[in-house]
Structure 1
Amino acid sequence: MTDNAIKLTNRVRPATRRPRLHKVILLNDDYTPREFVVTVLKSVFRINADQAQRIMVTAHQKGTCVVAVYTSEIAETRANAATDAGRQAGYPLTFTTEPDQ
């Protein structure tokens, strides 16, 4: 008789975690024109005009508004791009990020 033993091995799969998400937040200011805010929201965050208008109005009324939720790198990149667009146009338009619960 020959020994043809089958050897079983356990494969350990590494536990993958979902990346932590961050919120991009629009801060209201009294100087940036509303139309410019809508334009930046549409171009940087790729949202339609109706959504951009609602976000802008919410930020205007409440002081801040969550624009979108992304992974941390994408959130930082988009917030910086939107803030830079405001600065280049001479406005104090500001977007920030914070971790999502």
Structure 2
Amino acid sequence: MFASKQISLSLEDDDNGHSSVAIAPDETDLQPPSMYQVVLFNDDYTPMDFVVFILQRFFNMDSEKAQHVMMEVHTKGKGVCGIYPFGIAETKVAMVQQFSEQNEHPLMCDLQKVD
């Protein structure tokens, strides 16, 4: 949990008609954003090289890391590409799906909330 201090300002008048500013700190708890895994799912048609390319292009993985994740997708049925706040995860899923469709591959990509 993150704590952030905010300051409340109020204008007060005393009995002599003079104004003063009162400063009162307020503590507000800020919650970190919910995080989501972007996951690729195995299929029998998408070439392994295409999956590696996706991982390098959209998830900035080096060749070794991309090969490792591609093998997880191939052997375990799915692989985690990265963990992001919802908006970024959603955008990455959309980009991967669009690129896969444009290249006529049935590669499935989705997001899953991290507990």
- TM above 0.5: yes
CA displacement at 1:95 relative to structure 2: 0.8
2: distance between equivalents of 1:83 and 1:49? 21
* Residues matched between the structures, number: 97
Report the counterpart of residue 62 of structure 1 in structure 2: 76
How far does the alpha carbon of each residue in 1:27-46 deviate from its partner, in whole angstroms, 9 at most, with x for none? 00110011011011100111
Output the CA distance in 1 between the equivalents of 2:27 and 2:37.
31
Identical residues among aligned pairs (%): 31
State which of 24, 28, 38 in structure 1 corresponds to 2:42.
Answer: 28
More helix by share: 1
1:85 counterpart residue number: 99
Q: Which residue of 1 aligns with 2:59?
A: 45
Q: Aligned partners of 1:77, 1:8: CA distance in 2, in Å?
A: 45
Structure 2 counterpart of 1:94, one-letter code: M
Is 1:98 the counterpart of 2:112? The answer is yes
Query: Could you tell me the TM-score, scaled by structure 1's length?
Result: 0.88
Consecutive unaligned residues of structure 2, counting only runs of 5 or more, are 1-20
Q: TM-score, normalised by structure 2?
A: 0.78
Between Structure 1 and Structure 2, the one with more strand by share is 2
CA RMSD of the aligned region, Å? 1.7
TM-superposed deviation, 1:9? 4.3
**Distance of 1:80 and 1:52 partners within structure 2:** 19
Asked if 2 retains the 8 angstrom alpha-carbon contact of 1:20 and 1:71, the reply is: yes
Structure scoring higher RCO (CA < 8 A, sep ≥ 6) equals: 1
1:98 counterpart SS class = strand
Quick one: which amino acid aligns to residue 112 of structure 2? Answer: E
